[in-house]
Amino acid sequence: MAKMTLKIPKGAVSMQQGTIVEWKVADGDTVAVGDHLYDIETEKSTIEVESPFAGTIRILAQIGEALPVGHPVAEIHT
């Protein structure tokens, strides 16, 4: 079983951090490629983040957390 780490994506050149505003899945859910996992808010917009992998998700970050770009937010065990 492989572990793939999901991180706060860089949505714009000037983006330094993002705040998780909503998880669309629960810890332990099975997800497929393309599933809408969570929303992050930046200074300029809200970004919908989709799953790049299929497997079981383990959530590492909570709603309301402001995290720097590249910070781990979840793992998907494939």
Q: How far is CA 46 from CA 6, 9, 11, 30, 69, in A?
A: 17, 12, 9, 24, 14
Domain CATH for 45: 2.40.50.100
* Distance, CA of 43 to chain centre: 17
For the whole model, what pTM was predicted?
0.89
Number of folded domains that form the chain? 1
For residue 27, give the DSSP letter: T
Distance CA 43, CA 46 (A): 9
Q: Which domain holds residue 72?
A: 3-77
CB 37 within 8 A of CB 52: no
Query: In tens digits, what is the pLDDT along the chain, a chain of 78 residues?
Result: 799 999 998 877 778 999 999 999 999 999 999 999 999 998 888 999 999 999 999 999 999 999 999 999 999 999
